[in-house]
Amino acid sequence: MSLNAESTAFRSALEVIRAVEPRVADAIEAELADQRESLKLIASENYASPATLLAMGNWFSDKYAEGTVGRRFYAGCQNVDTVEALAAEHARELFGAAHAYVQPHSGIDANLVAFWAILADRIESPALKKAQVRQVNDLTEADWFALRRELGNQRMLGMSLDAGGHLTHGFRPNISGKMFDQRSYGTDPATGLIDYDKVAEAAREFQPLILVAGYSAYPRKVNFRIMREIADSVGATFMVDMAHFAGLVAGKVFTGDFDPVPHAHIVTTTTHKSLRGPRGGMVLCGPELADQVDRGCPMVLGGPLPHVMAAKAVALAEARRPDFPDYAQRIVGNAQALAEGLLRRGAKLVTGGTDNHLVLIDVSGYGLTGRQAEQALLDSGIVTNRNAVPQDPNGAWYTSGIRIGTPALTTRGLGTAEMDATAELIHTVLSQTNPGGSKAKYVLDPALADKVSKQASELLTKFPLYPAVDLG
Ligand SMILES: *Cc1c(COP(=O)(O)O)cnc(C)c1O
């Protein structure tokens, strides 16, 4: 029997690697086995296609390609130009954006590019005219000194961490928390939803330079039209970080007021979460910010990764296929089935449900911390991550929440019936786990953990991961 192309490709690759450092080949094989066996509910992870994975493993990795398509600082970039231009074209078409910059190496890098582009754009307009220089790079040290003082208005208004915002939206452990004076908007304590009047009030008081929307752990839609109106009312630049939900935008689940692209001045994203591409980032914007965004490398980024841009082009081409909207709809359908299954069994959910790809369980309802719940679930073969809930009494380390998401399991083909079964497994583990004397310790009968592990694997057997890949 002859092997299919995918099996041949991965088997051959492993053979070549094994000849040099067998332990790396073994680890790659072991990783596939682990991923195949685990019920992965990490909301930020997915499974990229074999074509996307294979596009990364080649000699494009050897190229230096600083600059932009057709304007490189190195010779011999014609093939890099081809894949970068393709990735950008697919991104523009998929999201309806005027400009796409596909060089960022990650979501955090994409945000750095955006921050710099916004700052540079602001600096260059009136201040540079005053200094009679052409661009930021021409500023003297004295100009910079004066500008920094002016940029006392370097203020960012973003979603608070415990309401689901991201570290890069102006929080201390990230450079954005040092570059910007930050203030956050949270969610309404009664409903768990963003209160747009409160956001508008905070914007009026704080007069931010940048209003950021986007999240890692908010289980609801955001109305970007209203957010843009708020930004406009105070002259702020409106930035949306759609790292988590880019796949739902690409798949036309989020349209109209809920599609960030027509409303934001600038949109950043990862490419590896719900969008299901290679690990990486991307920036979308209108013509006004395009030149500044394109200076991302070398302004804040290291040299572009041409092999990853090739994989972005492949994944974005996949996301433009007619079946991608169906995938995106199923992600949300599955998240809602999971939420309903949990609610029916008595779980407490932040906002009482979901309209995107993620569900946030408030595990204080089970008398547990997020840390205890995360470990108990992991012992039972269910991979999740702990996450703060709004006004979390246990802080950002122990937390009181468990974040679960459906992009990965939906890629495997699991549907709403399996989500109900998953809800049953999660509820069984959490209701049978007892706190164990510290915020990290817990008591769970190993026989129960074992039984749930087996049930979780059984759930997966009908939905093989990378079904066409047989490593032999
Ligand atoms: C995941 C995430 C990021 C960071 O992405 P990396 O690729 O890990 O750098 C940035 N912003 C948001 C909202 C995210 O969810």
Confidence of residue 138 (pLDDT cuts 50, 70, 90): confident
Q: What angle do CA 316, 247, 465 make, to 5 degrees?
A: 80
Rounded to the nearest whole angstrom, what is the distance from the C-alpha of residue 157 to the centroid of ligand 1? 18
Q: What's the one-letter identity of residue 190?
A: A
Residue 307 gets which letter from DSSP? H
Query: Hey, whose CA ends up nearest to atom 4 of ligand 1?
Result: 107
Lowest mean pLDDT among 139-153, 175-189, 378-392: 139-153
State the residue range of the domain holding 422.
324-461
Q: What is the pTM of this model?
A: 0.95
Considering the domain boundaries, does residue 45 fall inside one? Answer: no
Q: What's the one-letter identity of residue 405?
A: G
The verdict on 127 and 260 lying in the same domain is: yes
The verdict on 264 and 237 lying in the same domain is: yes
Which atom of ligand 1 lies at the shortest distance from residue 106's CA?
Answer: 7
Considering the domain boundaries, does residue 4 fall inside one? Answer: no
Q: What's the one-letter identity of residue 339?
A: A
Backbone angles phi, psi at 462, to 5 degrees: -75, -10
Give tens-digit pLDDT for 191-208: 999 999 999 999 999 999
Domain count, the chain: 2
The verdict on 303 and 338 lying in the same domain is: no
The verdict on 281 and 389 lying in the same domain is: no
Rounded to the nearest whole angstrom, what is the distance from the C-alpha of residue 62 to the centroid of ligand 1? 26
Query: Hey, whose CA ends up nearest to atom 5 of ligand 1?
Result: 107
Q: How far apart are CA 249 and CA 452, in angstroms?
A: 35
pLDDT at 434: 95
Return the best residue to mutate from 103, 161, 166, 266 for the ligand 1 pocket (most ligand atoms within 8 A of CB): 166
Helix (H, G, I), strand (E, B) or coil at 435: strand
Q: How far apart are CA 426 and CA 375, in angstroms?
A: 12
Token output for 393: 């009494």
Cα 317 to the chain's mean position, in Å? 19
Q: How far apart are CA 339 and CA 213, in angstroms?
A: 24
Q: What share of the chain is helix, strand, coil (3-state, %, to 5)?
A: 50, 15, 35
Rounded to the nearest whole angstrom, what is the distance from the C-alpha of residue 99 to the centroid of ligand 1? 21
Catalytic machinery residues? 64, 66, 241, 270, 273, 279
Give tens-digit pLDDT for 341-377: 999 999 999 999 999 999 999 999 999 999 999 999 9
Q: How far apart are CA 200 and CA 205, in angstroms?
A: 9
Query: Hey, whose CA ends up nearest to atom 14 of ligand 1?
Result: 243
The verdict on 230 and 306 lying in the same domain is: yes
Which amino acids bring their CB within 6 angstroms of ligand 1? 44, 106-108, 166, 168, 214-216, 241, 243-244, 270, 281
Which atom of ligand 1 lies at the shortest distance from residue 280's CA?
Answer: 7
The verdict on 283 and 333 lying in the same domain is: no
